[in-house]
Amino acid sequence: MSNKVYVAGVGLTKVDEHWWTSLEYLMTEASLKALDDAGVNKVDSIYVGSMLSPVLQEQGHLGALLAEELGLSSVPAIGVEAASASGAAAVYAGAREIESGRANAVLVVGVDKMSDGLAEEVTAAMMIGERQEYVGFIGATFYSLNALIYRLYMDKYNIDQEKIALFPVLCHEHAVNAPHAQYPFKIKLETVLNSPYVAEPLRRFETTAIADGAAALVLVNEETGKKLDSPKTELVIEAATDYLTPFQREDPLWFPAVQLSTSKALERAKLGRQDIKILETFDATSIMAILSLESSGFSERGKAWRLLEKGELSLSGSLPCNTFGGLKARGHPIGATSVYQIAELHLQITRRAGKNQVDNAVAGLAQSLGGIASTAFTTILREV
């Protein structure tokens, strides 16, 4: 029986174009906030998730770098990479270390600073999560691959774009009161549908923008948790992988890694889908959110749009989704994003979500995807 893992503190920087600060500063700021929130000043190890920093900042070795910035040099500290799920991969590593009994407290940080690159450099950097030899070299981008899937989806289920394009509208609605959100304002469906194509049919407002941010968690074991006054949640994380290229899969409209990691996480948490009261889905594009909802079993296939249309995913709905704006409106600083997702679940479950507080937020689930669900992490947080 493995040790339980608790989230004892979270720290977030505002997601923004942080022109005046550096990658190091962002991850240090988030870390200090998380350590303060937990009420600890030392940890047994540090894991830092980042996808783009080796390319955009030409900076690797983030583990030792962060330890130095925090004055924690000598603590084991390791950088972790799993494309856009790098943050969740860091959480996975930290959680496993606590479960194994080798650590009492671990600092987990996700960070990326996209504004240091030009749009074309960022677009190219994003492709390090794909298979360069077969896909990258033909000039495909993350968004063009999404566009192909989007077309397939609309054709297969005979669904109009306006049904799917409701997802970013929902996200922006939820970001309005999120202090750390990049775009805290509402948008209309027409705004989404009239925005320029990024890759037809995918429109600009169905994708995310250049974003900088860092998020941090302090994970502790049960014994350490009992000594801390900070509000805590229990964390379970599972992962699965799949072919890097969705078009090599049997069905590009089904994310087996999402299905598998969700089932494993629910099973380990001994929860059913009905017990999950809030959901953080990975809306790197609108279509990815839709497919994640379906692959994780929270919607029937081809019908996720109905949840949107009926308002089930709103803050007052039956399954509030992306309660601080999701990737679209809170922002998607790639390697940091999944740590934001988990931190936001923690804020909800510990009743610190401010105006976005969901009443019965006793358990929540975050889906964090690397590439087009080539890696899927599912994290469940529950009340303790």
Stretch that binds another protein, among 59-67, 74-82, 114-122, 303-311 (CB under 8 A): 114-122
CB of 126 to another protein, least distance (A): 16
Instruction: Check residue 102 for interaction with another protein (CB under 8 A).
Output: no
CB-wise, 115 or 207, nearer to another protein?
Answer: 115
Q: What are phi and psi of 238, to 5 degrees?
A: -135, 160
The answer, yes or no, to whether the previous bond of 201 is cis (omega within 30 of 0) is yes
Residue environment code for 317-340, b if the CB has 16+ CB neighbours within 10 A, otherwise e = eebbbbbbbbbbbbbbbbbbbbbb
CB-wise, 203 or 232, nearer to another protein?
Answer: 203
Residue environment code for 11-47, b if the CB has 16+ CB neighbours within 10 A, otherwise e = bbbbbbebeebebbbbbbbbbebbbebbebeebbbbb
What track of x and - describes contact with another protein for positions 198 through 237 (by CB under 8 A)? ------------x---------------------------
Among 45, 115, 281, 295, binds another protein (CB under 8 A): 115
Instruction: Check residue 196 for interaction with another protein (CB under 8 A).
Output: yes
Rounded to a whole number of angstroms, the distance between the first and last alpha carbons of the chain is 19
Stretch that binds another protein, among 115-123, 147-155, 172-180, 213-221 (CB under 8 A): 115-123
Among 119, 132, 200, 223, binds another protein (CB under 8 A): 119
Q: Which of residues 22-81 bind another protein (CB under 8 A)?
A: none
CB of 196 to another protein, least distance (A): 4
3-state SS track over 356-382: HCCCCCCEEEEEEEECCCCEEEEEEEE
206/121 Cα distance (integer angstroms): 20
CB of 115 to another protein, least distance (A): 7
Pair of tokens at residue 23: 């990658």
- DSSP state, residue 298: S
Q: Which residue ranges make up the site for another protein (CB under 8 A)?
A: 17, 19-20, 115, 118-119, 194, 196-197, 210
